[in-house]
């Protein structure tokens, strides 16, 4: 059963509004879908590196302080794992492609 003329007109209007909405287009683009998870993974990796340094320093202070830092590292690893699963293999390819494009455009600006 096909759409009536009025329904088709309404559908075309909705499509035109969605095409002109740049914020919506960026949110549903492949890089936009995974950008939040990718950002969380980057921050968690940075936090993990900081925690390794803190763990070495905390071992000199007290073993309970170092144990707290170790628990923090486990939490960061859980954040990385959860968001990496959310991104998935296809998401990693999309994010990597978006990063390559951003790097290429940045290098063109500096050349």
Tens of pLDDT, residues 47-93: 999 999 999 999 999 999 999 999 999 999 999 999 888 877 667 67
Average pLDDT, the chain: 82
What's the whole-number mean pLDDT along residues 95-101?
Answer: 75
CA dist 102 and 12 (Å) reads 33
pLDDT for res 57:
93
What's the whole-number mean pLDDT along residues 11-28?
Answer: 76
What's the whole-number mean pLDDT along residues 3-20?
Answer: 83
> 3-class secondary structure for 11-67?
HHHHHHHHHHCHHHHHHHCHHHHHHHHHHHHHHHHHHHHHHHHHHHHHHHHCHHHHH
Task: Supply 76's token pair.
Answer: 């960061």
CA dist 37 and 46 (Å) reads 14
pLDDT band at residue 28 under the 50/70/90 scheme: low
């Amino acid at each position: 059963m096909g759409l009536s003329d009025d329904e088709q007109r309404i559908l075309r209007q909705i499509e035109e509004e969605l095409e002109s909405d740049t914020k919506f287009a960026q949110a549903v683009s492949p890089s936009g879908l995974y950008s939040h998870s990718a950002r969380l993974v980057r921050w968690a990796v940075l936090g993990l590196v900081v925690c390794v340094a803190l763990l070495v320093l905390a071992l000199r202070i007290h073993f309970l302080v170092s144990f707290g830092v170790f628990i923090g590292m486990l939490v960061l690893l859980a954040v990385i794992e959860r968001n990496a699963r959310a991104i998935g293999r296809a998401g990693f390819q999309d994010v990597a492609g978006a990063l390559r494009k951003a790097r290429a455009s940045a290098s063109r600006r500096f050349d």
